[in-house]
Amino acid sequence: MIIALVRIPLPGPKRDHDLVRAQSLEATKIFHDVPGLRRKYFLNSETGGGGIYEFASREAALAWFRDGWADWMEGRFGVRPTLELFDCPVVLDNEAGEARVDGVPVAPPWAD
């Protein structure tokens, strides 16, 4: 699994919650059928916006964040985004009460 962190630096103050919610929900039209994208979290803070993307593989992430992606984003937001990709070998899911290693549930260490 790959986690992508996208940051869009925007001047403060923090953008209005209702506006961000409406814009983000509208943007789901763009992302709902991206191959390999499992989840996308839309972010808002005093220093800008961004997203956390969970991809099934590095190949899927690189296919989305291809040449021209940063130009497209800059055209949408007026600033150039930053992108960082992370390998994610372990996930703790407190809602499901499980830990996963490389996508496979394992015996939780806290259940000893």
Of 42, 36, 57, residue with least CA distance to 7: 42
Between the CA of residue 18 and those of 8, 14, 25, 27, what are the distances in Å? 18, 12, 11, 14
Would you call the peptide bond into 11 cis, given omega within 30 degrees of 0 as the criterion?
A: no
Residue type, 50: G
The string of pLDDT tens digits covering residues 61-104 is 999 999 999 999 999 999 999 999 999 999 999 999 999 999 99
**Predicted model pTM:** 0.92
